[in-house]
Chains A and B, each alone.
Chain A
Amino acid sequence: MQNREKKVLVIGVIGADVHAVGNKILYHAFTEAGFEVVNLGVMVSQEEYIAAAIESDADAIVVSSLYGQGELDCRGMREKCDEAGLKGIPLVVGGNIVIGKQSFEDVEKRFKDMGFDRAFPPGTAPETTIEALRQLLHMDGETV
């Protein structure tokens, strides 16, 4: 990987989910925080995230899901990344990623078992995600 001024994030809303507002907010927040953001918009398939990540040599993939089907949509994504040569790429997920009242600890564990590095509950502020990304991408001390 070359030296780049900015870390590259691929973001989008996964599956048959058309919630566009949160996606736009994240795009602006990440860009503002100094990331280079490839925004795939809504209704993004796993393959689209992966294709965009390969071309842009992304540093992380940030998956949003608002409609409760996130767990189904995210299944197998880590394996597909491995298959596509994106071994070890940080995967982050957030939003209303499951239906019903469940303890987020359990939910987080399930997503981590699926190969996601971090999972965020509903109502997470963009700043929290940005901080987590900075940690994941070893950007401590750097001003992005």
Chain B
Amino acid sequence: MSITRLPPGFKITRDTNTEEFFINMGPQHPSTHGALRLALRMDGETIVEVVPHFGYIHRGMEKQAESMSYLQYIAMSDRQDYLTAIQNNLGVVIALEKGMNVGVPEKGEYIRVMLSELGRIASHLVFFGCFGGDLGGQTCLLFGFKEREMIHDILEEVTGSRLTTNFFRPGGSRFDVPENFIDRVKAFLKHLEGAMKDYERFLSKNIIVLERSKGIGILSAEDAIAYGCSGPVLRASGVDFDVRKANPYSIYDQLQFDVPVTYTGDCYDRYTVRIAEIHESMRILYQCIEKFPKEGPWRAKEKPVRLPVGRYYSEIETAKGLYATYVVAATTGEKPYRIHTRGPSFPHIAALNKMVQGHKISDLVTIMATLDPVIPEIDR
């Protein structure tokens, strides 16, 4: 690649003794997790600089939202971070509820929390699979997806679809849960407990995994905050911040759970934080099963989704991090003036350059896997 035809945002320093070269990783590459392009400046196999390029699957969701009704935008939120679709629904719905000033009955809240936590486990299982897969253990990928399928079976029975759920509505949800919902979740949790033991044995103490992830891609707490990281990436760097604790929504303030925090900020820490979060989510689910109200309404009285003039903001903790929705209603009606979404993956990719410098190209793959980005959510 000639020096004159380098991609934008890419600069070559000529004061090195060795010859640097440029590698284009993506947009079609197995481990960029979607259509993400990374322009790499390499010195041999060592990375000097990485410049991420986005926009390959930009669909203009926020612009489209301006000509959509509020209800239609709930379906759009599924198509952002498709791994945590059900949680994205919740984030949008909470913002709308603030505008409509409706409450949710107790049973409705429990349904929301349970489905959200199932979604969190599903997303972290995908992380587990991709992490192992990106390290070269293809078997991990299948193991992670096996339990995720079970969650999707549950979601399918409850919501009618597996991935893009489009389930929550202002005041509750579309349907009540089926009668066997609690039993299915119970059976699944029992299975998952056994499975997680195997999976952790498979990766957590594997010497090659430890060698490849410890001390790799360290992100300091200051940098994590400066870049706006959230979720497990932030917590792995030693910042105890979780929206569920810091700014509780739904019924999270009534539930007992811990926020796992580790302090090194390397790839292994990001891995252990997510594994610990699976266990915390299971703890939340067990509590929900115990307290789940059998009787009572599951949604508030239906009324048209019309928001009065104003600005409404909600933030929730998805599996990836802080997912915020900002709705601006300029006129009272069914359509927003503007909806903005703050997704967690974008700041993580922005911090990538900070983490990979001086590491090998294999480490870039490991670091990308532990950031767990979902490209459709970056390129909304």
The finding on whether chains A and B are genuine partners in a shared complex, rather than unrelated, reads no
What residues make up the interface of A, taking CB atoms closer than 8 Å to B? none
